[in-house]
Amino acid sequence: MSKSPRLEKVNRFVLHKQHLTPESKTGDLVQITGDIAGLHATNSTTPYLSLFARASSFARDHLEHHLYERRNLGKIRCVRKTIYIHPADMLPVVYNATRRFVEKASRRYAEGRGISHELYDEMSRAILAMLEGQEKTTPAIKASLGAQAEGLDVSALLYLMCDQGLLIRGRPARGWRDKTHHYAPFRAYFPDVDLHLYSEAEAIALLVKRYLAAFGPATETDLVWWMGLGKTKARRALEDLQGDIVTTSVPGFAADSIMLRSDQQRLDGGEYAPAPVVNLLPPLDPYLMGYKERARYLSPGYADRIFDRVGNVTSTILVDGRVVGVWDFAAGDPAEMRYLLLETIKSDLLEQVHAEAQRLGEFLTDGEVVVRRCDHMVPLTERPVGSFLSPLKAC
């Protein structure tokens, strides 16, 4: 655990901004999503579990209500070519900040799948006309295209249409765990959102400011990794924001961290409740994916059991913002919540871990669950791709 009082205070400050302390929880899901710079949504269940960890009261249909009925949240591929959920007013920011990078990758992939510019223009027009007033899944779109879809990689085409702001990913086909989306025209979901509201430079500056509001103090290395846009664009944005940011030293972590000037005043003047905070966070949770330099919350000796070879974070147990263990869910009769501790913690904290595991397991199952402690796991760096989603499978 951290021995630096300054770092402990920084971690507690960031936990508060991330809505991961008791006093910072709220029922406003749009506020939470904006405050944490978006919900990581590549894995279908992650946004639900990230909100469960942060909201004062949460049920799965709460998120679906905002995504598909009120439509004040939307899914978009942005930083690091990753699908995120953002508030509607942030969609033009993340779209313009990352569009060149994201669209280039999806265009290249589509061309590699035999979709020329001419074919794309023709088929995208046909799909937009087909989806007027309705939503369809990829198989349904392919079926409706009939002979036009013969030999066509419809999935690659739909990805490119989403990345160009023509389509939006809608409701999953078969429940919250399903990765198959319905697709709808973007303007049908967000008729008042102007995706072209900002220039690229303006959008990147706004995105940097949002990142620092959610994760600062952080290093330039953290920011560059999180955005995935390279050092040049990140540094140019930081120069544009010079009046709004300051550098600070965090003993035990980094000498040159960056934060918003307004946050520095809050950090230096704030006092946080001394009671320990226990969190169980899902794989790819934004808090743990927000930093490239992870000494602030992770002892180096644990890294191979928390991150896989490509940087995906598994499901974790945190005490005061520091990783102390791993959890996993195993369906069955009865269902199990499994956990493994990487270090010894006090008995009262162990009770909190057990209680949080019980509460999370009941959310996952809508019923009873058994909580079981494990004593070993194979490092994620020695396992196949995707193992971070089930870290204690062999327990």
Tokens at residue 234, please?
């990140």
Radius of gyration of the chain (CA): 22
Residue in 193, 174, 194, 190 with CA at minimum distance from that of residue 182: 174
253 vs 258, which has greater pLDDT? 258
The pLDDT, as a whole number, for residue 1 is 40
154-163 and 117-130 are packed helices; what angle lies between their axes, rounded to 10 degrees? 80
Q: List pLDDT tens digits, range 176-234.
A: 988 889 999 999 999 999 999 999 999 999 999 999 999 999 999 999 999 999 999 99
Can you list the domains of the chain with their CATH numbers?
Answer: 199-269 (1.10.10.10), 298-389 (3.30.300)
The pLDDT, as a whole number, for residue 6 is 79
Q: List pLDDT tens digits, range 284-330.
A: 999 999 999 999 999 989 999 999 999 999 999 999 999 999 999 99
254 DSSP β-pair partners: 250
Helix (H) or strand (E) run with residue 341 in it: strand 335-341
Let me know the angle formed at the C-alpha of 15 by 229 and 245, rounded to the nearest 5 degrees.
50
* pLDDT band of 272, cuts 50, 70, 90: low
The pLDDT, as a whole number, for residue 358 is 97
pTM for this prediction: 0.96
pLDDT surpasses 70 at 255:
no
Residue in 388, 198, 212 with CA at minimum distance from that of residue 303: 388
Cβ burial, residue 97 (10 Å; 0-12/13-18/19+): buried
The pLDDT, as a whole number, for residue 27 is 97
pLDDT surpasses 60 at 3:
no
The pLDDT, as a whole number, for residue 170 is 96
The pLDDT, as a whole number, for residue 268 is 83
368 vs 315, which has greater pLDDT? 315
pLDDT surpasses 50 at 339:
yes
Q: List pLDDT tens digits, range 112-165.
A: 999 999 999 999 999 999 999 999 999 999 999 999 989 999 999 999 999 999
The pLDDT, as a whole number, for residue 2 is 42
Q: Are 2 and 36 in contact (CB under 8 A)?
A: no
The mean of the pLDDT values for the chain is: 94
